[in-house]
Amino acid sequence: MKQLIKNFKKYRFLLSELVIKDIKLKYRRSYLGILWTLIEPLLTMIVLSVVFSSFYGRNDRTFPIYVLSGRLLYSFFSNATKSAMRSIRTNGQMMKKVYVPKYIYPLSSILSQYVIFLISLIVLVCVAAYLRVKPTIHLLEAIVPLIILFVMVLGVGLILATLAVFFRDMEYLWGVILMMIMYCSAIFYDPERVVKTGNGWILQINPLYSVILNFRNTVIYGQGLDLNALLYSAGFSIAALVIGLFMFYKKQDQFIMNL
């Protein structure tokens, strides 16, 4: 354990270098640069709001922010797990030559996505102010689902990173699963509609939906956290992290031979 911490300290600079690299390269050569983290979710929000408010007749004033909050959390989940999954393979050349603790690669790719995600929350603040959603004391609790989401992504990311080394088609499979998760997360529809049809369990077993639910409760509705959703998502995240760490450590010595 002591060895682990010492090792981590030594490679802290590498971790920050890799995080900065990811962010820098993502927006290099684009005219608006880092502003895209704000514009892109804003544009999707407008599209989704227009489509769903005219098609489904939702004229709720807070609908845009409802869509935006769901989409921001989902796209962090999707982007970060995807890049963690690819991280071992993309850094394979380096890994074959120099010793670096291997968890640095998935961890750095998730961290850089998290930083981009946190920056993109600025859009949420602006839209909320524009729509005059009043902040309440419960807004402070929003940090809880955000932390749970990070742990969840780290756990799932480590599991996927390990699997993807041995099975190259994980990427396609995960793409399909992600699509399923998206439709089961109530990003642009009202969960009540699903509950009415008797299929509410689909939402309940989705840990990402629990996170989104709590995030919306604190940010939009000025309510406290939903305890069931909180416990379920926290439990799932910790379990995923434990399984992820176990798989990763168990298999990491074989990565080189399979790259």
Partner 1 sequence: MSKTVIKVDHVGVKFQMGAEKVDNLKEFIIKKINRKIKYKEFWALKDVDFGIQQGDRIGILGLNGAGKSTLLKVIAGVLKATEGSVTTKGKIAPLLELGAGFDLQYTGAENIYLYGAVLGYSKEFIKERFNEIVEFSELGDFINVPVKNYSSGMKSRLGFSIATIVEPDILILDEVFAVGDAKFRKKSEKKIKSMFKDGVTVLFVSHNIEQVKNICNKAILLEKGRLIAQGDVLDVCEIYQDKLK
By the criterion CB under 8 A, which residues form the site for partner 1? 10-11, 13-14, 17-18, 21, 24-25, 28, 93-100, 166-170, 173, 253, 256-258
* CA gap 198, 14 in Å, rounded: 50
| Minimum CB distance to partner 1 smaller for 1 or for 257 | 257
Helix (H, G, I), strand (E, B) or coil at 55: helix
Q: How many CA atoms, within 13 angstroms, populate the side-chain half-sphere of residue 70?
A: 24
Q: Where are the alpha helices (DSSP H) in the chain?
A: 2-10, 12-27, 36-55, 63-90, 92-95, 104-130, 143-166, 170-183, 191-196, 200-204, 207-219, 227-251, 255-258
Q: Closest Cα to residue 110, out of 71, 90, 81? A: 81
Handedness of CA 20, 21, 22, 25 (dihedral sign): positive
Minimum Å distance from CB 144 to partner 1? 33
Minimum Å distance from CB 214 to partner 1? 34
Minimum Å distance from CB 248 to partner 1? 15
Characterise 222 by phi-psi region: left (phi > 0), alpha (psi -120 to 50), beta (else): left
| Minimum CB distance to partner 1 smaller for 96 or for 193 | 96
| Minimum CB distance to partner 1 smaller for 117 or for 255 | 255
Minimum Å distance from CB 1 to partner 1? 20
| Minimum CB distance to partner 1 smaller for 21 or for 193 | 21
* CA gap 113, 67 in Å, rounded: 20
Radius of gyration of the chain (CA): 19
Minimum Å distance from CB 83 to partner 1? 15
| Minimum CB distance to partner 1 smaller for 32 or for 256 | 256
Minimum Å distance from CB 81 to partner 1? 17
| Minimum CB distance to partner 1 smaller for 71 or for 82 | 82
Return the structure tokens found at 92: 């394979």
Q: Closest Cα to residue 90, out of 18, 152, 10? A: 18
Q: Closest Cα to residue 138, out of 49, 217, 29? A: 217
Minimum Å distance from CB 27 to partner 1? 12
Helix (H, G, I), strand (E, B) or coil at 258: helix
| Minimum CB distance to partner 1 smaller for 2 or for 6 | 6
